[in-house]
Amino acid sequence: MKKILVTGALGQIGSELVTALRETYGTDNVIATDIRSTEAEKEKGPFEVLDVTDADAMFAIAKKYNVDTMMHLAALLSATAEKAPKKAWDLNMGGLVNALEVSRELNLQFFTPSSIGAFGPDTPKDNTPQDTIQRPTTMYGVNKVAGELLCDYYFHRFGLDTRGVRFPGLISYVTPPGGGTTDYAVEIYYEAVKSKAYTSYIGKGTYMDMMYMPDAIRAIITLMEADGSKLKHHNAFNISAISAAPEDFEKAIQKHIPEFKLSYDVDPARQKIADSWPNGIDSTCAAEEWGFKAEYDIDKMTKDMLEKIAAK
Ligand code: VAH
């Protein structure tokens, strides 16, 4: 039976991943950790406060619970990282090296996400291949490319079973994202329900890969359960479900809220980041090597998002 340590467990991905892992493997087999704690979290299952830049603390928690799997999610996202690049480097890379070292010392199976942010302006923008040029122009992207290479290194050098995916922008209604470039694609649904109007900081015609959180969570668990001998790539699998621009969300929302109005007030900083990323990536390797398949297109996601937010 798996015993899993999750870092960044209170984040947009972590909060839903912990719930899904506990349903799959049992509450007591999933140790949630984050830089802060809440009483509510402690009541849901094993929880520890952990600053991922503290290697000794991370090792102690992994040892205390005798885990066999590490899912490392704690990181600063793209827009925040551009405002504080040195802090982002220290947290994103320091935390990752600690998680890899603890995993190596205790021989844990390892997961950490990369992102479409690992691509840059020179990367082919459409049907972006699994293996292609990666010269990102953001600190977040530099962190993600370095992270991909580090995870490959730990696999080849130490035989550590490292696995990961390049996530698109993730859309969810449980825990809001913080400091991302794709956050507009979450905000738009909340504002559609609340005020039937939204002003997008990303401009019309800006295509980016997106995915509904249920598809993302299923992808993590499917990849980690896959037969490792069948994986040609181990880390940084391209996965996507939707390639969309703000006007595509507007159209999908108007099928449910006809009076919904989308306007634009472009934020140059986040637009610059978005413009450096692909329009749509190719997920063939993930499909062939471990059976990745997204179930939510923009219409199915929009229906569920609006219903769930209205019910909150
Ligand atoms: C961000 N949501 O915007 C994250 C993600 C692909 C985007 O990495 O930074």
C-alpha to C-alpha distances, 73 to 2, 11, 15, 294, nearest whole angstrom:
18, 8, 10, 21
Among residues 25, 140, 153, 264, which one is catalytic? Answer: 140
Q: How confident is the model at residue 137 (pLDDT cuts 50, 70, 90)?
A: very high
> Ligand 1 centroid to 64 CA: how many Å?
33
Assign 162 to helix, strand or coil: strand
CA dihedral angle for residue 60, residue 65, residue 66, residue 70, rounded to 10 degrees: -80
Ligand 1 center–CA 86 separation, angstroms: 18
3-state secondary structure of 18: helix
Q: Which residues pair with 238 in a beta bridge?
A: 166
The closest of 61, 146, 135 to 97, measured between CA atoms, is 146
Q: How far is the centre of ligand 1, averaged over its atoms, from the C-alpha of 181 (Å)?
A: 6
Would you tell me how many other CB atoms lie within 10 Å of the CB of residue 106?
A: 15
Half-sphere CA count of 2, side-chain side, radius 13 A = 21
Domain ranges of the chain: 4-167+213-238, 169-210+241-311
Confidence tier at 39 by pLDDT (50, 70, 90) = confident
What is the Å distance from ligand 1's center to 106 Cα?
Answer: 30
26: left (phi over 0), alpha (psi -120 to 50) or beta: left
Residue owning the nearest CA to atom 7 of ligand 1: 169
Is 80 exceeded by the pLDDT of residue 47?
yes
Q: Whose CA is nearest to atom 1 of ligand 1?
A: 180
287 CB-side CA count, 13 A: 9
Q: Has domain 169-210+241-311 been given CATH number 3.90.25? A: yes
Residues 136-162, mean pLDDT to the nearest whole number: 98
Q: Which atom of ligand 1 is nearest to the CA of 140?
A: 9
Is 264 catalytic? The answer is no
Rounded to the nearest integer, the mean pLDDT of the chain is 97
The predicted structure's pLDDT at residue 56? 98
pLDDT at position 41 over 90? no
Nearest-atom index, ligand 1, CA of 79: 9
Name the pLDDT band for 92 (thresholds 50, 70, 90): very high
For residue 181, give the ligand 1 atom closest to its CA: 3
In terms of Cβ atoms closer than 10 Å to its own Cβ (0-12, 13-18, 19+), residue 150 is middle
Closest among 53, 296, 85 to 179, alpha carbons compared:
85
What is the rounded average pLDDT of the residues 59-63? 98
> Strand pairing partners for 6?
32, 71
CATH superfamily, domain 4-167+213-238, is: NAD(P)-binding Rossmann-like Domain (3.40.50.720)
**Distance from residue 63's CA to the centre of ligand 1 (Å):** 32
- Would the pLDDT of 74 be above 80? yes
Equal fold, 4-167+213-238 vs 169-210+241-311: no
Query: Which of 137, 140, 172, 242 has the most ligand 1 atoms within 8 A of CB, as the residue to mutate?
Result: 140
Closest CA to 312 of 176, 184, 170: 176
Block residue for tokens 């990323």: 277
pLDDT band at 103; cut points 50, 70, 90: very high
pLDDT at 1: 65
71 three-class SS = strand
d(CA 281, CA 115): 11
* Pocket (CB within 6 angstroms of ligand 1): 77-78, 115-117, 140, 167-170, 177, 180-182
